[in-house]
Amino acid sequence: MRIAIIGTGRVGSTVGAGLARAGHEVVYGSRTPEKAGHLSAPSRSIPEAVDGAEVVIAAVPGSITREVLAGVGPDALADKVLIDVGNSLTEGFRLSFPNGSLGATLQQDFPRTRVVKTLNTVSAPLMADPGRLPQTTVFLSGDDAAAKAAVEGLLGDLGWAAESRIDLGGIETAHGPEHYIFLSMLVARKLDTTEYGIAVVS
C-alpha cells in the first residue's frame, strides 16, 4: 500500500519506519523536503507525497493539522483514507475543540475524505512498537467501515493485536480519545515517562 506521511518529526518518522518495515511503500511529505535526510523513506513536497497515495497519515502537531491539510486541498484528499493521530491544544494547553474533536472537524473540512482517528493515546515509540509494553489498548473512530478496516490492517502491521483494538464508532466518538490527553499528561508527570499505555479489561 502506498502511504503518505505528512510530517517528518518524531511521530511521522517513527510510524513511517514501522510501516516501511512491514512492506508498505512510504513517502514523506514535508514543507522542506530537502532538509529531511534523516528519514527511512523518500521525502517530497506535501502535494507530491499525497498524489497517488491510498492512505495519508497526518503526523504534524494537531494544532496545525487543519492548516497543513488546507494547503493540500479537498480535491487532492478526495476518496483517500486520512489517519488523524493528533491532539490539538491551544497555546494555553486547552483543547482546541472542547465540544468536539480534531478528527470530526477534519471530516467536516474534507467531506469526501475518509477520516479515521487512532493512535493519539500513545507516545510515538508505542505507535509503531506496542510490544514494548504488555497489552495496550488503541482506539479507532470513523464513519467509513472500509476505511477503518484498512486502518485496522495497518495497525496490525505495526504490531497491534486484534484484541487490543477497540472501534468506538463514528468520527463523532473521536472526542473521547482526544480528551484523554489531560489524564495522559498527569500520568506521564507522575511516572516521569511517556512509556506507558492503558488497557481496557472486561
pTM: 0.96
Q: Please state which of the four CATH numbers 3.40.50.620, 3.90.1150.10, 3.90.850.10, 3.40.50.720 is assigned to the domain occupying 2-191.
A: 3.40.50.720
pLDDT for 37: 72
Domain layout of the chain by residue ranges? 2-191
Q: Give mean pLDDT, residues 170-177.
A: 98
What grid cell was written down for 6?
Answer: 505528512
Band of residue 135 on the pLDDT scale cut at 50, 70, 90: confident
Q: What is the mean pLDDT of the chain?
A: 96
